[in-house]
Each structure stands twice: as structure tokens, then as C-alpha cells.
Chains A and B, each alone.
Chain A
Amino acid sequence: MAEVSKGIAEKWGLVVDQDRCTGCNACVVACSMENNVPFTGEDNVAFGRGTYWIYNKRMWEGTYPEVAPAFQPVMCQQCGSAPCEPVCPTFAAVHSEEEQINLQIYNRCIGTRYCANNCPYHARQFNFEDPNIPEPMNSYLNPDVTVRRRGVMEKCTFCVQRIVAGRQTASAEDRPLRDGEVTPACVAACPSDALVFGDLSDPNSRVSQMAQNERQYKLMDELGTRPKVTYLKGGGRNGG
């Protein structure tokens, strides 16, 4: 179920400018709030069961004493040829034809966790427990996003609910979607403008322009997954 082209215009993509990223983790928080990502608690995070649809890899560059932190926000790369899709026995990991992104259908998922093993980016998260949301906290939940129960996989959807809402608004006003009209929560929250989202099929969109940048690279491009997230990283300490 790799990418299909049926004359569909949209091809959503994301550009991550690592040279601009300050590692503030605002994207992680915004994503959790937007997508009802459960807070699993300190112990679970320490054990390796923290659930994040986007997480920030903190690495070090250079040798002591000339070291600087380097940040790499990683989310689902929305592969054009996604390794997680063919291995799912129940079509829970599917490619959406309209948005050309990879979606997880929670109520089809039986929890084999095969997709998570096969994802080279480790972008998929498993719900080891039911989400624990105490009384006043449940009012923060986003009604546009399912609350997942235990035993299912979940992952970044490029905030598909926002894409759909944007498309519906545009269609109600009888006009095409404007560039920058749809922003996922992480992009909206990024204070340093390190994340840019838009339609890759439009060559004039900001994201298409940035994806052409000479600093661009794709994560593990050699695997042939055709990711729709482009990273920008220059050579020097303070960016190229």
C-alpha cells in the first residue's frame, strides 16, 4: 500500500530545520495536548515507555571542551513506502489516499507491535496501559482525536484532524487551501520557526522551497522509505 497517485493534489510534508531548533520541547508538549497523547508518568518514561508522537533527540557535537548540543526532533516520517504498512495483519496501519500520509486505525489494531519493530525511526508508540486521566484533566482532551485504549499502537498523524478542518473551511468558503493555513500543533508551537509544514505538491509553497535547500537530507534515505519529512542541517556549529 505504498503511495498511489490518482491525480490527488495534496502531498503534505514537513521541514525540520535542525540549525534553528533550540531543543525547547514545546513541540512535544503541544503535540501531546493536541492529540490526547497520554502522560504515562515518570517511572514509565524512565523505563522507556513514555509516549511521544514527536520526541527530541538530544545529541552532542564536537569533542570536549568544544561541545555543543544538537537537537533532532523526530516524528513519524510519513513514508511514501512505509515499512509499517505491509506488515500489519489487519490493515490498521494504512496509507490515506487523500492526504498521502500514513494513518493508524486504532479500532482495527490488535497490538501485534510488528509495525513498531519494523519502523526504522522508532516513531511508533504502544499503549501499555489505559490512559490515566484524573477528573479535572479530562476536560483538556481534544474532542477531534480518539483517546486510545491499551493494547493499540499510535503515532504522529501530521494532525490529520487539522488538515481535514482546514480543507473543510476552504471548501465552505469555496477557495483553495492557502499555504500555511494548516499547521500541525508542533509547527504552531515552535518558537524558533524550526518546523515548517505545507503542501509539497505545490512548488511555490514555503515547505517545497525549503525542502530544496542545499542543507537538506532525509532520515535513513538509503532504506528507500521515501519519507515526507525533510531535515535541514548545516556543517558548522552554529549552522551552515
Chain B
Amino acid sequence: MAAETKLFGKLKTSEQEHEDPKEQLMFDPRPREELNRMVMEMMTTTTRKFWLWAIGLGAGVVVLLFGAWGYMISTGMWVTGLRRPIYWGVFIVTFVFWIGISHAGTFVSAILRVFKSEFRRPFTRAAELMTTFGLAAGALYPLIHLGRVWVFYFMVPYPNARWLWPNFRSPLVWDLLAITTYLLSSTIYLYLPLVPDLAMARDRTTGIRHTAYKILALGWRGTEAEWFRLKKAIQIFAFAIIPVMFSVHTIVSWDFAVSQVAGWHSTIFGPYFIIGAILSGVSAVVTILYVLRSSLKHMDYFLRPEHFDALGKLILVFSMSWAYFFFNDYLLGWYGGEAAVRQILTVHATGPAAWVWYTMLICNIVIPWLTLWNRKIRRTPWLMFIITLLINVGMYMERYTIIPLTLGHQRTPFDWGVYTPQPIEISIVLGTFCLFTFLYLIMSRLIPLVPVWEVQEGQVAHSLRKVGKAEVPSVTELD
């Protein structure tokens, strides 16, 4: 009995050691003016390294993306590795990948806001920006992969001289509508909490920047009524955008699930894709947060091990859910017993491209399960950076398995085929990665990447609440 108490007592002290109040952003407040100054400095400091990166990535966008795409448009789709029967390759793989990435920005921001998780405060904007630019990069692919991109507007529903309406039974039209909706709503959702920060920047800049912020801040003065309305609007949007977010990736999964292709025709694809998207997206948030933390001035004050810790827990949970759906998908396919599906499952695990399948399993299951249970690892940013990068490699492999590897082994063995991405395709894929990073890099110097008013609100107005054994800061009383 005595030993037990001692043990518990010891545990408690070690836990208390970890929870040094100063480690948490909420318990380490700084004066308002200083926070503003830090965010402004973060935004206006440009080093030589920054310009080198910006020029390099800009050149990457021009050459790798637009150059290669232009070449493909002018010569035809034969430059890709597509061939019968594999008509969708890395373009669609990367499309699903980017849409998945764009998912978590909203997930982290909106769901954590709705559930009042206070740790979200310093990085909601970084996550929302990831959504917008991930969508911008991903939304290019439905255009890139078209055989005749110059008539892409045939898909858009508007009264036209052709007297033709798009086919609303086609999942590709659903895609178009869902992605456009998501892009618009996530951009508004990014913009709303930005307004007070833009006003803050407006008051601290001169010249052209001042004019730009003045226009964008919509004459924000910070009165009680303005705050009230802004908070209402954010609250409404946070709730409204969650179903949009779920619908987008479900619809992306329906591109596959409603088809007749063996291995795609699966009712579980909707939730399976959503979980996969959140897993890859939350991982991408961590990857980006690490890069921001190590490259932006003062960012290490705002982003702390506690944030990596909390996101690491989320990733572990989603890795487990993903594993559940993954095996569920395989189990049903196997139990259903359709010869073609069984053949596909066997080929994934034993075929010539089995390394893709094993990379996926190692990166998505083995690595997070072996590492993320550990508090020390979760609190080491550079380790989290590597782990989350690997998870996204795994998620890319997942989409690669689902798309070209499944298409290559359909019902008739005579028509089996192998797909190898060609240089032009790889160049375009790398080009969109450049585009995403370039946009993010430029934007990091144009808008405050930390929602400084939200951080201040959290630091000033929180009270301590007991959740289980732990005491967490909470701002519930405000709302």
C-alpha cells in the first residue's frame, strides 16, 4: 500500500515536472504591444536565404510546372506514362494528395475551434493557409490531366451556345462543384479571423503596404460591436465549413467508389479517404509548423513543443483509425470473394510494385505507432518533422496503390498493364510542390502568420479547468 502511494506520488511529480507552466504559450504571456511587434518583425524580416528560396521556387513553378504543362499541352498526352488500361496516373494521385492535405487546415482550425481546444490558437492561420494553397495546387490537376484542357469549360454549368449542360451524374462534375465550394469557403474562413490582424498591420506600416492593409482590413477599428459580429461570423463559418470539408473528400473518394473498377467499387471509400486525408493533412501541418518555427523570426515563442505534442497525439489517433479503415477495406474485399478484387489484393502485396504497398504500411502504421506514443519524441520538433514527412510519403503511396496499381490489374488478365511515371509527369508534380511552397513563402511575408489577437485573447482571458486529472486553460467564459 505504501509502495503504491509512493509510486503514484512519484509519477505525479514527474508529470508536474513536465508541465512547467512557462512551457505553455498560455502561461507565458507577453505584453500586447510586444506580441504585435514580434509578429510585425516576423512579417517584414527578409533574409538573403529567403530571397534565394523565393527565386528558386519561383523558377521551379515557371519551369517545372508551367513549362512542362505547356509542353504537354502543345504536344499531347503521349509524354505521360499512361497507357491502356491505366488512364489515370500520378496526376490524379497528386490531385487526391493535395485535396487531402488541404483537408486538415480546416480540420485543425474549425474542429479545434468548435471544440475550444486552446492549443490551436497560434497555428490556426498557418493551417488555414495550407488549406487554401493546397487546394490551389490540387485544383490544377483536374485541368492538367485533361486530354483537351482548352475546352475544360464544357464541364462548367452555364447557359451556353452549345445548348449543353454538364452531366450531373458524373462524379467529375461533383468534384468541380465541391472543390470550388471548398476553395471559396475556406478562403473566406481564412480571411475572417485575419481582419483584426490586418488592421494591426495597417496601424504599423507605411506606404504601399499601409494602403493594401487599409483596403483589406475593411476599416476595422476594434469596437465592441465589430468584435461581436466577427466572432459570430467565425463561429458560424467554423460550424458550416465542417460538413463542406467532409463532403469534399467524400466526393473525391466517389470518383473511385461509384465506378465499376474492381478494387475501387467499395462503400467504405468515403470515410476511408476522409481519415486518410486528415492523417496526411495534420501531418503536413506539423511539417509546415516545423519549417515555420525554424525559419521565421520569433516563431519559436509562438510554436512550442506542446503544440507538436498535441498534434502528435492527433496523428497517432488518426493513424490508428486509418489502419482500421485500411484493413476493413481489405477484409471486405477478401470476404466478398470477387476473383478480380482478390487478385488485386494479392498483386498489391506480392506484385512487382509491392514495395509501394509496404512503404505505405511502414510509413502510415509502423512509424507513427512506434514513435508517437512517446511524449519525448512528440515534443522534439525535428523528430516530428521527419515522422510527419514520412507519413505523407506513405499517404502518397496509398493513393498510388489505389489508382495506377489497381487500374493495371482489372478483370481480364489479357489487359493487364504496368505504369511508370514519365519525366514530364514528375516535373509537373514537383512543380505543384514548388507552387505550394512558393505561395506559402510569399504569403508568410504579406500577412501575419500568427493570429496574434487570438493568442492575446487566450493569454489574457483563460481560466483553468480540470479535464480528468489535467488542468487546461480554457476561454469558454468569453463566448
Whether B78 pairs with A88 at a CB distance below 8 angstroms is: no
Question: Which partner residue on chain B sits nearest A219 by CB separation?
Answer: B412
Asked whether any CB of chain B lies closer than 8 Å to the CB of A128, the reply is yes
The smallest beta-carbon distance between B99 and chain A, in angstroms, is 16
Task: List CB contacts (< 8 Å) of B145-186 with chain A.
Answer: 145-149, 151-152, 154-155, 164, 166-167, 169-173, 176
Asked whether any CB of chain B lies closer than 8 Å to the CB of A57, the reply is yes
Whether A87 pairs with B259 at a CB distance below 8 angstroms is: yes
Whether A59 pairs with B414 at a CB distance below 8 angstroms is: yes
> CB-CB < 8 A to B30: which residues of A?
none
> CB-CB < 8 A to B417: which residues of A?
48
What 1/0 flags go to B442-469 for Cβ under 8 Å of A? Answer: 0000000000000000000000000000
Whether B414 pairs with A83 at a CB distance below 8 angstroms is: no
Asked whether any CB of chain B lies closer than 8 Å to the CB of A140, the reply is no
> CB-CB < 8 A to B415: which residues of A?
122
Known: A48-B83, A126-B147. A113 touches B260 (CB 8 A): no
What 1/0 flags go to A177-212 for Cβ under 8 Å of B? Answer: 000000000000000000000000000000000000
> CB-CB < 8 A to A22: which residues of B?
none
Q: Among the interface residues A83, A89, A116, which one has the most CB atoms of the partner chain B within 10 A?
A: A89
Whether A48 pairs with B169 at a CB distance below 8 angstroms is: no
> CB-CB < 8 A to B148: which residues of A?
109-111, 150-152
Known: A89-B167, A108-B154, A114-B172. A122 touches B410 (CB 8 A): yes
Known: A89-B167, A91-B167, A108-B164. A117 touches B76 (CB 8 A): no
Asked whether any CB of chain B lies closer than 8 Å to the CB of A168, the reply is no
* A57 to B75 alpha-carbon distance, docked (Å): 31
Whether A150 pairs with B76 at a CB distance below 8 angstroms is: yes
Asked whether any CB of chain B lies closer than 8 Å to the CB of A100, the reply is no
Asked whether any CB of chain A lies closer than 8 Å to the CB of B228, the reply is no
Whether A90 pairs with B154 at a CB distance below 8 angstroms is: yes
Asked whether any CB of chain B lies closer than 8 Å to the CB of A125, the reply is yes
Question: Which partner residue on chain B sits nearest A58 by CB separation?
Answer: B414
Asked whether any CB of chain B lies closer than 8 Å to the CB of A112, the reply is yes
Whether B146 pairs with A130 at a CB distance below 8 angstroms is: no
Asked whether any CB of chain B lies closer than 8 Å to the CB of A127, the reply is yes
The smallest beta-carbon distance between A58 and chain B, in angstroms, is 8
What 1/0 flags go to A80-119 for Cβ under 8 Å of B? Answer: 0001001111110000000000000000111111101110
> CB-CB < 8 A to A83: which residues of B?
259-260
Question: Which partner residue on chain B sits nearest A52 by CB separation?
Answer: B84
Whether B147 pairs with A111 at a CB distance below 8 angstroms is: yes
The smallest beta-carbon distance between A118 and chain B, in angstroms, is 5
* A122 to B145 alpha-carbon distance, docked (Å): 19
Contact of B76 among A90, A108, A118, A130 (CB under 8 A): A130
Task: List CB contacts (< 8 Å) of A151-169 with chain B.
Answer: 151-153
Question: Which partner residue on chain A sits nearest B87 by CB separation?
Answer: A113
Asked whether any CB of chain B lies closer than 8 Å to the CB of A129, the reply is yes
Whether A111 pairs with B77 at a CB distance below 8 angstroms is: yes
Interface residue tally for chain B (C-beta within 8 Å): 40
> CB-CB < 8 A to A118: which residues of B?
259-261
Asked whether any CB of chain B lies closer than 8 Å to the CB of A64, the reply is no
Main SS at interface, chain B: loop
Asked whether any CB of chain A lies closer than 8 Å to the CB of B58, the reply is no
Count of chain A to chain B residue pairs whose CB atoms are closer than 8 Å in the complex: 125
Interface residue tally for chain A (C-beta within 8 Å): 39
Whether A49 pairs with B84 at a CB distance below 8 angstroms is: yes
Whether B147 pairs with A110 at a CB distance below 8 angstroms is: yes
> CB-CB < 8 A to A86: which residues of B?
167, 169-170
> CB-CB < 8 A to A57: which residues of B?
412, 414
* A109 to B152 alpha-carbon distance, docked (Å): 10
Known: A49-B84, A110-B152, A122-B415. A88 touches B167 (CB 8 A): yes
Question: Which partner residue on chain B sits nearest A72 by CB separation?
Answer: B414
Task: List CB contacts (< 8 Å) of B295-339 with chain A.
Answer: none
Asked whether any CB of chain A lies closer than 8 Å to the CB of B382, the reply is no
> CB-CB < 8 A to B149: which residues of A?
110
Whether B155 pairs with A120 at a CB distance below 8 angstroms is: no
* A151 to B163 alpha-carbon distance, docked (Å): 22
Asked whether any CB of chain B lies closer than 8 Å to the CB of A4, the reply is no
Known: A89-B170, A89-B173, A122-B415. A151 touches B77 (CB 8 A): yes
Whether A120 pairs with B411 at a CB distance below 8 angstroms is: yes
Asked whether any CB of chain A lies closer than 8 Å to the CB of B85, the reply is yes
> CB-CB < 8 A to B259: which residues of A?
83, 87, 114, 117-118
Whether B146 pairs with A110 at a CB distance below 8 angstroms is: yes
> CB-CB < 8 A to A108: which residues of B?
154, 164
Known: A48-B84, A48-B417, A89-B173. A150 touches B154 (CB 8 A): no
Known: A90-B155, A110-B147. A117 touches B78 (CB 8 A): no
Asked whether any CB of chain A lies closer than 8 Å to the CB of B108, the reply is no
Whether A113 pairs with B147 at a CB distance below 8 angstroms is: yes
Whether B85 pairs with A122 at a CB distance below 8 angstroms is: yes
What 1/0 flags go to B211-234 for Cβ under 8 Å of A? Answer: 000000000000000000000000
* A57 to B415 alpha-carbon distance, docked (Å): 9
The smallest beta-carbon distance between A156 and chain B, in angstroms, is 15
* A195 to B271 alpha-carbon distance, docked (Å): 47
Asked whether any CB of chain A lies closer than 8 Å to the CB of B407, the reply is yes
> CB-CB < 8 A to B83: which residues of A?
47-49
Question: Which partner residue on chain A sits nearest B85 by CB separation?
Answer: A122
Question: Which partner residue on chain A sits nearest B81 by CB separation?
Answer: A47
Question: Which partner residue on chain A sits nearest B411 by CB separation?
Answer: A120
Question: Which partner residue on chain A sits nearest B170 by CB separation?
Answer: A89
Q: Among the interface residues B78, B155, B172, B414, which one has the most CB atoms of the partner chain A within 10 A?
A: B78
The smallest beta-carbon distance between A196 and chain B, in angstroms, is 23
Whether A114 pairs with B170 at a CB distance below 8 angstroms is: yes
Whether B147 pairs with A87 at a CB distance below 8 angstroms is: no
Asked whether any CB of chain A lies closer than 8 Å to the CB of B88, the reply is yes
Question: Which partner residue on chain B sits nearest A115 by CB separation?
Answer: B87
Known: A49-B78, A150-B147. A125 touches B407 (CB 8 A): no
> CB-CB < 8 A to A220: which residues of B?
411
Whether B87 pairs with A117 at a CB distance below 8 angstroms is: yes
> CB-CB < 8 A to A91: which residues of B?
164, 166-167
* A118 to B259 alpha-carbon distance, docked (Å): 6
Of the A-B pairs whose beta carbons lie under 8 Å apart in the complex, a sample of 6, sorted by A's number, is A90-B166, A110-B146, A114-B255, A118-B260, A122-B84, A223-B260
Chain A interface residues (CB < 8 Å from chain B)? 44, 47-49, 57, 59, 83, 86-91, 108-114, 116-118, 120-122, 125-130, 150-153, 220, 223, 225
